[in-house]
Amino acid sequence: FFASCLIALVLAILVWLLLIKNLYETGWLGAIAVGIMAIVVFLVAAILIALIFGILEKAIEHLISGWL
């Protein structure tokens, strides 16, 4: 089960990078850079939206209570 999920994840990332490479007409390093930047922008936007709606605090409390 784990191996099939890992293979699917690798293939999805490869296809995503291939799409970025073709759409932005860059090389592989450019596609990786654009992909990393897209992930960073997504995380920042998700954190800002969570702060606006006040759910980040609840999520952190839930994560901390799960570890203890």
Q: How confident is the model at residue 63 (pLDDT cuts 50, 70, 90)?
A: confident
Taking Cα atoms as reference points, which of 11, 9, 29, 31 lies closest to residue 19? 31
Parent domain of 60: 2-67
pLDDT at 68 over 70: no
Provide the domain count of the chain. Answer: 1
pLDDT at 2: 87
Q: Kindly report, residue by residue over 3-36, the tens digit of the pLDDT.
A: 899 999 999 999 999 999 999 999 999 999 999 9
Using CA atoms, how far apart are residues 45 and 27, in angstroms rounded to an integer? 27
30 CB-near residues (< 8 Å, 6+ apart): 21, 24
Using CA atoms, how far apart are residues 20 and 24, in angstroms rounded to an integer? 6
pLDDT at 58 over 90: no
